[in-house]
Homo-oligomer: A and B are copies of this chain.
C-alpha cells in the first residue's frame, strides 16, 4: 500500500483539520483511496516547527494548543519556524501549503511553493495568493520538476470546481462562468432579505465566524476577484492579472433595494464572472447583480457558494456547496492528493 510522506506548512485551521482527518481516517483511506498519509514535518510562523521522518502523531498535532511556540513541546520540535528545512529536508513527498492569503504578492506562500517544487516535491495548496498571482510560473516549475501542483481549495474550498471543469466538462466548450464565490457576502444578502440592515447582517456574520473583524475583502468583492482571476486563467485560458478585473461589492445595496428586488421576484447576488469574447479575449468582473428568480444562481442562499459554467454543448451546469470551513478546505487538500495519486506520481 502506498504511503505519502507529507509536510504541513502553516498550521492554522486548515492543516490542523487535515491532521485531524489523518488521525481519524488514515486506515479507511488506505482501503478506499489506495494510500495513506504520514506527517513528517510541520512549520508555522506562530507555533514553530518540527521534523520527524518516522512520522508524527497526527492526533497529537491536531490537539496542539494554539500557543506561540507550541511545537517546541514536541520531541525534536522548535519554537522557531524552520520553513525551508521542513519543506526541503523532512523527506516529504508532498507539501501541504496553507498559510495566510497575501493578495499583494502572494508571499511568503509563493516562496514556499517554489522551494517545494524546486526540491521535486508535489505541492497542494488552498492559498489564493500564489495561484491568483503566480500560477503560470509555479505550474511551469512543477512541470520542469516532474511533480504536481494542485490547488482545488483555492476556490470554493473542497467543493470541486477546478477539477470538475477540467476533467468532467472537457470538450463541452466552456465559454464562461458566473459564480457566488464569497459566503460572507451571500450570507449578508440573505439576511437582509429577511429584514436585517447591512450593518446588522455583517455583525451576525461576524458573530457566526463567517466574516473577519474587517469584512472589507468579503463585502467589497476583493476576495471574489482573486477567485475570478484563478478561474478565468485556469478554465478559459486567460492571462488576467488582478488589476484587470473591475470590482465592486455589496455595501451600496440598502434595504430598499432588497425590498424592490423581492417585490419583483429577483435577488441581489455578488457575482464573479468571466466570458470569452468573440475576439478570443476574456472579460471578467465582480459586481452585485439582480438575478431573475429562475437564474441558476438565484436559489443559492446563506453561506453556500455556487458556480454556473456556461458551455456550448450543455448550456448551464451549476455546482454548489460549501465555500469555506476548516474540514471542507482540508478535504480540498485531500482531493488534490487523490489527484496526485491517480496521476501515478508516487514520488
Contact = CB atoms under 8 A, between A and B. Distances in A.
Q: Size band of the A side of the interface?
A: 35 or more
A140 interface: no
Interface in A156-184: 157-160, 163-164, 167-172
How many copies of this chain are found per oligomer? 2
A108 interface: no
Contacts of A158: 172, 313-314
Contacts of A163: 167-168
Nearest to A296: B320
A172 B331 CA distance: 7
Contacts of A317: 159-160, 319-322
A338 B171 contact: yes
A315 interface: yes
A294 interface: yes
Interface string A333-345: 0110010001000
A146 B319 CA distance: 33
Interface in A87-122: none
Interface stretch (A6-14, A44-52, A243-251, A298-306): A298-306
Contact of A164 (B168, B328, B331): B168
A220 to B, nearest CB: 26
Contacts of A331: 171-172, 313-314
